[in-house]
Amino acid sequence: MTDKTVKVSIRHLYKIFGSDPQAALTRVRDGMSKAELLDKTSHVLGLNDINVDMHEGRITVIMGLSGSGKSTLIRHLNRLIEPTAGEILVNGEDILSWNEQRLRKLRRESMSMVFQKFALLPHRTVLENAGMAMATRGKSRRDYEAEARKWLDRVGLSGQDDQYPHQLSGGMQQRVGIARALTSNADIMLMDEAFSALDPLIRTDMQDLLLELQEELHKTIVFITHDLDEALKLADHLVILKDGAVVQQGEPQEILLNPSDPYIEDFVADINRARVLRARSIMTDRPPQGEIAGDVAPTDNLESVIAQAEGALDRTYRVTRGDEALGYVGMADVMQALVRRPSGYTAS
C-alpha cells in the first residue's frame, strides 16, 4: 500500500450521550443544534456526522477546544466508546461489526495508544512498561526484551531499563509511552493529548522526536491536541472540530491560507504565519523575469526564506527537491502570504 491508501475511514459518525440516543439522533438529523438538544432533551451531542479519511503513513491531527469532541472521536477508533450511528473502517472493514475477540486483537496488535497522563504501571520497570503490549500477547520478557530496549534507546532512554516510572521526569515517562507504542509494532498509533502535560521546552523536544521517528517509520498516526501551533507543526492532514462537528479539514497550510469559516479565521488569527507557512504552499510555476537569488526547499518556512533574502524585497528563489525544480517563490509572494485576510473572508 502507498502513503495515499486510506487506512482508517470514518463515515457519518454520530455519538449522543443520554438515555435515548436514537430518538435524539432523529432530532439532530433534522437539524437540532447541540445546545438545543441539551436544553430540550437533556442529551449531549458528542459527535455530529463526522466524515474523515486517515491515510497510511500520515499524521492526522484532530484539534479543537475543550468540549469539541476530539477525545470522544479518537476513542471510537478502537471502540472504547460505541457510536450512536455511523461506520469506522480499518483497512476497509467496518470494525463496528467485529466481535470482542477481533476487537481485542485490534487493540493489542494493530493499534497502540499514547496517553496524556502516560499510563505507565508504577510497579513495573521502564523495560517492562515498554514491553507491555507484547506481554499482553503472551510474550515473555525474554521474547520482547531486545525489541523494547531498541526503542527505548531510540527515544533517548538508553540505560534506564531498570528504573521505575516515579524515578523519571514527565518527559522521560512520555518517552516510555512512545517506546511502548513502537515496541508493539502496531500500524496505527493513537495519541490523545500526548504532549499537553509537558513543559513547553520538553513538549517541543517530543514533537521533534515524533517527526523524526515518523520520517523513518511512516506510521498512521492520529494525534489529538487543543494547541494550534502543535497541530500545524505535526499534521499532514488537519481536522478542526467545534461542538462535535468538523468545521474544516485539509492540508494545514491550505487551512491557514484559506479559512473557510469565521470560526477558523479567528482560530488562526494570531499564528506566526512566517514560522508556519512553507515555501511549497505559496510557490508558483511562473519563472521569474530577473535573476534567481538561490534555492529553497519546499518544506522551508517563510521565516527562513526572509532570512535568506536578508531583507531584500526584489529576490526570487527556486523551490527544489534534490535536482528537481518544483516552482518559484518571490519575496512579494512571501509578503502577501504574511498578511492576514480581512475579517469575514470565506474561501471560494
State pLDDT tens for residues 48-74: 999 999 999 999 999 998 889 999 999
pLDDT winner (highest mean) among 21-25, 173-177, 196-200, 286-290: 21-25
When the candidates are 3.40.50.300, 3.20.20.30, 1.20.120.1230, 3.40.50.1820, the CATH number that belongs to 56-250 is: 3.40.50.300
Residue 4 pLDDT level (bands cut at 50, 70, 90):
low
H or E element in which residue 202 lies: helix 200-217
Same topology, domains 56-250 and 273-338? Answer is no
Q: Which range is least confidently modeled, 89-98, 130-139, 173-182?
A: 130-139
State pLDDT tens for residues 115-143: 877 788 899 999 999 998 888 888 888 88
Residue 80 pLDDT level (bands cut at 50, 70, 90):
very high
- Which CATH fold topology does 273-338 show? CBS domain Like (3.90.1280)
Give residue limits of the domains in the chain.
56-250, 273-338
Mean pLDDT to the nearest integer, 264-292: 85
pLDDT of residue 343: 46
Q: How far apart (Å, rounded) are the C-alpha atoms in residues 222 and 104?
A: 19
What is the model's pTM? 0.85
- % the chain with pLDDT above 70: 96
Q: How far apart (Å, rounded) are the C-alpha atoms in residues 241 and 219?
A: 23
SS3 of 331, please? helix
SS3 of 211, please? helix
Mean pLDDT to the nearest integer, 168-184: 89
Phi/psi of residue 61, nearest 5 degrees: -105, 125
Please determine, for residue 114, whether its predicted confidence score (pLDDT) is greater than 90: no
Higher pLDDT, 298 or 47: 47
Displacement of CA 58 from its chain's centroid (Å): 9
Higher pLDDT, 325 or 59: 59
Higher pLDDT, 260 or 48: 48
